[in-house]
A = this chain, B = another copy of it.
């Protein structure tokens, strides 16, 4: 959750962090693996997973555990929501900041102590909207671009 012992910024870790920060998409571990391997062909997927967990634990990146899809990672740590395209799976950032009054709205509706929330918008991205107006029947594409 919070920063721990000073972490050894090894070559692998540095490259993984760089590659994640370089993209504005929200890649899965294996997409990152593919990119990193271009620079470090011998790196293993296990190292990628371990490093991503580690960086997230240090607060240097964020895990996106989006409902019903596989885990993705986000090089931007400033709190912000995401919107996911229901057709292609692409995830985009919304501007930083929380929805005002959201948790307060629910405080008196539950006997739990409310300490946080997850919110994800769902929609159609510009590319898929365009495909649709062009009459392309893309069906539901696998959530696996970039």
Contacts and interface: CB of A to CB of B under 8 A. Distances in A.
17 contacts: A81-B106, A83-B106, A94-B109, A99-B106, A102-B102, A102-B119, A110-B121, A112-B123, A112-B125, A114-B123, A115-B123, A115-B124, A116-B122, A117-B119, A118-B119, A118-B122, A119-B120
A140 to B, nearest CB: 11
Interface of A: 63, 65-69, 71, 81, 83, 85-86, 92, 94-95, 99, 102-103, 105-106, 109-126, 129
Contact of A115 (B99, B103, B122): B122
Nearest to A120: B118
A126 B99 contact: no
A65 B114 CA distance: 20
Contacts of A110: 83, 92, 94, 121, 123
Contacts of A65: 67-69
